[in-house]
Structure formats: C-alpha cells, structure tokens
Copies of this chain bind each other. A is one copy, B any other.
Amino acid sequence: MTPDLHHAVEDLLRAAGQRYTPKRRDLVEILRKVGRPAATQDLVEGRRGMPQSSVYRNLAVLEQAGAVRRVITEEGVGRYELAEDLTTHHHHLVCRSCGAVVDVTIPARLERTVERTLAAAAAAADFEGAVHRVDLIGTCRDCRDVTA
C-alpha cells in the first residue's frame, strides 16, 4: 500500500547513501500502520519479531536520512514516527501516566503565528535551524478511569 510513501523513503535513503532494505521497509510500514509515535519496544516485539539491534540500527539510519523522527515523551522510552515531510505537520497529546501519544493538528493560521514568533525567539538566542515542538501533557481517559 501507499507506494508513494515507500518511494519517498527510498529516495531519502538513497540520497543519504543507504539502501532501502526489507527490514527498513518493515519498520516504515509498521510506523505507517500505527499512525502515531510507536515505542521502540513495540517495534522489537512486533509480530515480525525483529532483533532489537536491527530495530535500533535501522531507526537510526532512517532518522539520519530524514524518514523518521524520534519523539521525546515523559516516559523513559523512545518513540518514533514518520517524518513530517512524509505526513503532515502536527503535534502530540501525551498522557503523563501511560505515555500514550495521540496526534493533533492546530489551525494553520495559529500555526503560522507560532512559527513566526518562535523563529524570532530562536534567532534572538542565536539558535539555528530551529523547529518547534508543541505538545500537550495531560491524562488520557483510560488512565483517569483507573485512578478513579
């Protein structure tokens, strides 16, 4: 499915002097199916059963090629998602209890305003190539129910 995605990733990898191997294709496919940041552990334990060394190594390659992005959450575990170039610019809702992540988008108009303001702030602090990260930390329904 979505051959465009895989073509795009292949191009990215090739540009980085890397091959688009079956393992890498598997990872990309899983991330596409999941549709939101997936924990590294989930990828290791996925039905495909990929060795963790391969998961970590290939995610690093894909990240360097700009195909995936590492998402930082409150939990101690790493999560990865497809790069925004391959999907759409978005933000995250992170559950502070279970670490679950949901993608959200905000109005383009506000997005632009934020973008412009933050770019100015970055320039003032002499930071280069800054991208913004807007996340929401809260408690998801499931975790709320458990506590209650």
Of all chain B residues, the one with the shortest Cβ separation from A136 is B130
- How many Å lie between the Cα of A24 and that of B124 in the bound state? 35
When all copies of this chain in the complex are counted, the total is 2
- A135 interfacial contact with B, CB 8 Å: yes
- A50 interfacial contact with B, CB 8 Å: no
Of all chain B residues, the one with the shortest Cβ separation from A142 is B126
Q: A126-B141, A141-B126 are in contact. Are A136 and B121 (CB under 8 A)?
A: yes
Which of A2-10, A54-62, A99-107 lies on the face that meets chain B? Answer: A99-107
Of all chain B residues, the one with the shortest Cβ separation from A127 is B138
Which B residues are CB-close (under 8 A) to A117? 106-107, 110
Contact partner of A138 among B72, B130, B140, CB < 8 A? B130
